Structure 1
Amino acid sequence: MTDESTTGCPPFPQSPRSGRLTGEQNKAGTFATASIVKAGWLVPAALIMLSTVPLVAGAVRLAELTGGATITPENARFFAAPLPVTLHIASAVLYSILGAFQFAPGFRRRRPGWHRAAGRLLIPCGLAAALTGLWMTLFYPRPEGDGDLLAGFRLVFGTAMALSIVLGLAAIRRRRIARHRAWMIRGYAIGQGAGTQVLTHLPWVLIFGAPGEFTRALLMAAGWVINLAVAEWIIRKRPARPTRASA
């Protein structure tokens, strides 16, 4: 006998004779599964939403270049050299959207082949976005409101993005998974700076109006810094994993 009098433990609840879950248990399991799925896609959905304004702005810019829009002092530099900005927008769109799906852990586990295939596309797209951004900072005429400080910030963070991606690639080639993950998260965080910069500018514009040159540079830098701070929190939040993949 294994009742409470002999084991000191309460007897286990008996399951239905059919051996099947009750309706309440089925509902609870379904709800828990749905919650997990929703939680797994919450971060990718938020990242895509963060990219919405920059992606729309990029699409409008491409439409201007391909649709024969009127040349103005604000867009003349793009018409004079359209290839860098076109490559920058196209690579940034792919990098932002594909990169968001790398933050869905369940999707990565179910489709590891997709994760690797997407990574092979993300690396050249990320490097193209970073390098064309650096080229435009150095060689395009500066628009009104962009000064030396903002140009310096763009050079620093653009270089940091490219370096992060290169270090992430080097890490995965040596099978250092945790290091690869950390550097790729940092590179993606910098690449998403344009979305966060919309959020740093919006309150200032609503309260104080258009920012001046110095304030604009600081608000732009705040977008990159906020993203990097969140990236470092994510990197350190998750439990440590082996630095090398198993054979």
Structure 2
Amino acid sequence: MTDESTTKHLPFPGAPRSGRPADDRNGAGTSPAASSTRAGWFLPAALILLSAVPMVAGAVRLNELVGGAAITPENARFFAAPLPVLTHIFCVSLYSVLGAFQFAPRFRRRRPAWHRVAGRVLVPCGLVAALSGLWMSLFYPRPVGDGDLLTGFRLVFGTAMTMFILLGLAAIRRRDVARHRAWMIRGYAIGLGAGTQALTHLPWFLFIGTPGEFPRALLVGAGWVINLAVAEWFIRQRPLSSPRTLAGR
């Protein structure tokens, strides 16, 4: 996930040929370095924004449980066993936000130890988020609107997220950076599925109404499929120059 920047030099080391300050050549006084820095932060910011909706929903759920809200048929399962959902909310929120900074190449280059330190937090958080999601799918009573198909999707993608993170961990222990990067991106894509699912549901709510059991399952599954498709495109667009080395990274 490292982008190599290039530096353009003038024929002579003096003033710019146009007679204007170097920063003005790109318009509005913006230097190439500043533009590149802003561009490097676009993807992490977009990922954090995508995770904002499920994080807000998690905060609302947390407030219900801690604040002693009225127990309803919709939230009774969480009051009966609060630990899995509280663990899931905390871990998936930290995983989503902290993982977004792994896509900031300049930030990682300036802080070489950041990636390893963050990885030691991201791996357990990702695994606990996936496993707690699997537990809730298997043992919580199903709410109205959740059918067998949706439960199947949750079990498949929750298992896949767990396996992708473990495969990424195994790859880095072999010092296989390329495969480590690819598996971790796939795991992160699944972990960020709730944000995309909010987007897949929005048009249906606006133009049709509340989705039934089957459309809801397809809309939820579409969020994970879209994220994985984008992840595969990203992996292939930005391959590592040396797939089996840690040198200089």
TM-score with structure 2 setting the length: 0.90
Unaligned 5+ residue runs, structure 2?
Answer: 1-9
1:158, 1:166 → 2: CA distance?
13
| Residue 75, structure 1, aligned to residue 75, structure 2 | yes
1:58, 1:132 → 2: CA distance?
14
2:25 to 3, 24, 28: 28
Map 1:171-210 to 2 at 5 A.
171-210=171-210
Map 1:38-117 to 2 at 5 A.
38-117=38-117
TM-score with structure 1 setting the length: 0.90
Match of residue 132 from structure 2 = 132
The structure with the largest helix share of the pair is: 1
1:228, 1:14 → 2: CA distance?
48
Q: How many residues align?
A: 233
Change (3 A) 1:112 1:246: closer
2:219, 2:153 → 1: CA distance?
11
Higher Cα radius of gyration? 1
Paired residue secondary structure (2:21): helix
Q: Percent identical across equivalent pairs?
A: 71
Unaligned 5+ residue runs, structure 1?
Answer: 1-11
Match of residue 151 from structure 1 = 151
Change (3 A) 1:28 1:76: same
Contact 2:84 2:135 survives alignment (8 Å):
yes
One-letter amino acid of the structure 2 residue matched with residue 152 of structure 1: G
Change (3 A) 1:14 1:115: closer
Paired residue secondary structure (2:239): coil
2:34, 2:22 → 1: CA distance?
14
Deviation per CA, 1:18-73, whole angstroms, max 9, x where unpaired? Answer: x4555432433742112101110000000000011100000111111111111110
Contact 1:95 1:126 survives alignment (8 Å):
yes
**Aligned-residue CA RMSD (Å):** 1.6
1:239, 1:79 → 2: CA distance?
46
Structure 1 runs of 4+ with >6 Å offset: none
